[in-house]
Amino acid sequence: MIDAPVTGAWRPGDPPGRRSFVSLFRGGRDRTSGLDLEAGGHLSEVTVAYETWGKLNATASNAVLVLHALSGDSHVSGPVEPGHPSPGWWGPLVGPDAPIDTDRYFVVCPNVLGGCQGTTGPSSWAEDGRPYGSRFPVVTVKDQVAVERALASELGIDRWYAVAGGSMGGMRAMQWAVEFPANIERAVVVAAGVAASAEQIALCWLQNQVIRLDPCFSGGDYYDADHGPSAGLAVARGLGHLSYRSAAELQQRFANSPQDHELPLSGGRYAAESYLEHHGEKMIGRFDANSYLVLSKAMNHYDLGRGYGGARAALSRVRAEVTIAGVSSDRLYPLRLQWELAELLGRTDEVQVIDSIVGHDGFLVEHDAVGKVIRGALGS
């Protein structure tokens, strides 16, 4: 078995940190036998890793679901700890007196279906006692939300006070509003749209191809090998990260400067190259390449209108108060996609613009601006 720094996946026996775990779809109270997936696959059971903050009130009316993006996990708030090499990805926004106030709300953040931080994904053990690997089925955002709905039932939550997320988390928040209109009061959707765009699909395909072409990928069944596709995953992350930031920010930070005292003309690196290499190396240590593929595909399959006769018909089901926000410099999920969502929703006449040079990652780093959007949406 290859070691965790190569696979980047959490396994049973690893330090759990704050995580709790629940097994769903195995039968019993409020469960069905297995999970039938939108693309035709089936999972006999699903383990979900999740973290909570605050306390659920007596009427279970103060629960807030926070949903992470592609490379995030359940650790939305808190310090570095076993199993979590980085602080919470939305730490300043979740806590006492924060925009998502844990003295007021019961906050739940699950790791997504197909992920690699405790929830069932390609690196999880299948029924035959071996990792799924290439056998893991295709999952969609709709499937991921179905798992989150089952988790809510397990926690005794019938209706969320709010569901919030950015990027892939924003997709799931919007899917919640469409799939379960009676079970969500508010949705906060940041840096997402109605369906995957051609450019988003193309960029994901390039990243996925880099992983697949790594000689150590072995068709996705590399868990028993000495080496996994770490080089491919690092380059894929670099490609992705480039699309998450803006050209203006990269130019402002790096221009054509060399990295430290290296000499590019003599084989040294430019600062921009070192930056992408750094993010690729970080990804290897905390993420599984197969999960990167599965979640990227789920984002490519995202289409709110599928199965409902189009996006406008799907959005006509929404009963929640929807707050839509986008980042001014986002070139991956540009503001036109948020305006399209608002127009098709037919109940929201404005998009809140987060003014930032950062690009798509503004939903993660512009804490004051994003916090203001969330405070307004939650009525705080």
Q: How do the residues of the chain divide into helix, strand and coil, expressed in percent and rounded to 5?
A: 35, 15, 45
- Mean pLDDT over 33-47 rounds to 95
Do residues 28 and 175 share a domain? yes
Q: What local confidence, expressed as pLDDT, does residue 33 receive?
A: 80
Give helix then strand counts, H and E, for the chain: 12, 12
CATH number reported for the structural domain that contains residue 80 in this entry:
3.40.50.1820
Q: Last residue of some domain: 268, 299, 330? A: 299
In sequence order, the β-bridge partners of residue 108 are 52, 65
How far apart are the C-alpha atoms of 305 and 357, rounded to whole Å? 32
On the question of pLDDT at 256 being above 60, the answer is yes
Confidence of residue 27 (pLDDT cuts 50, 70, 90): low
278 is an active site residue: no
User: Which residue among 167, 230, 329, 356 is the active-site one?
Assistant: 167
Give yes or no: residues 187 and 63 share one domain: yes
If you write DSSP's letter for every residue of 262-283 in order, what string do you get? Answer: --GGGT--BHHHHHHHHHHHHH
Query: What is the pLDDT, as a whole number, of residue 146?
Result: 98
Pairing of strands 35-36, 42-43: antiparallel
Q: Is the pLDDT of residue 4 over 50?
A: no
Catalytic (active site) residue 330: yes
213-232 average pLDDT score: 96
Assign 180 to helix, strand or coil.
coil
pLDDT(29) > 50: no
Closest CA to 324 of 189, 169, 195: 189
Phi, psi of 163 (to 5 degrees): -125, 125
Q: What is the CATH number of the domain that holds 215?
A: 1.10.1740.110
Task: Return the SS3 of 27.
Answer: coil
The answer to whether residue 119 scores a pLDDT higher than 50 is yes
Residues spanned by the domain of 152? 4-196+303-378
Q: Are residues 63 and 171 in the same domain?
A: yes
- Looking at residue 356, the DSSP 8-state letter turns out to be -
Split at pLDDT 50, 70, 90, the class of 16 is confident
Catalytic residue among 124, 330, 356, 361: 330
Tokens linked to 148: 């989150």
Same domain, 106 and 247: no
Query: Is residue 140 domain-shared with residue 217, that is, in the same domain?
Result: no
- Compute the CA torsion angle 188, 239, 362, 90 (nearest 10 deg): 60
Domain tally for the chain?
2
The torsion angles phi and psi of 33, rounded to 5 degrees, stand at -90, 100
Average pLDDT score, the chain: 94
Asked if residue 292 and residue 224 are part of one domain, the reply reads: yes
Query: What is the band of 349 on the pLDDT scale with cuts at 50, 70, 90?
Result: confident
Report the range of poorest mean pLDDT among 32-36, 60-64, 269-273, 334-338.
32-36
pLDDT digit string, tens, across residues 274-327: 999 999 999 998 999 999 999 999 999 999 999 999 999 999 999 999 999 999
Are 190 and 216 members of one domain? Answer: no
- Name the 3-class secondary structure at 284: helix
For a pLDDT cut of 70, what percent of the chain falls above it?
A: 96
Of 273, 299, 325, the one marking the end of a domain is: 299
Structure tokens at 98: 């924060």
Known catalytic residue at 360: yes
The residue type found at 213 is: L
136, 155, 161, 173: which is closest to 325 by C-alpha? 173
Which of 269, 299, 329 is the last residue in one of the domains?
299
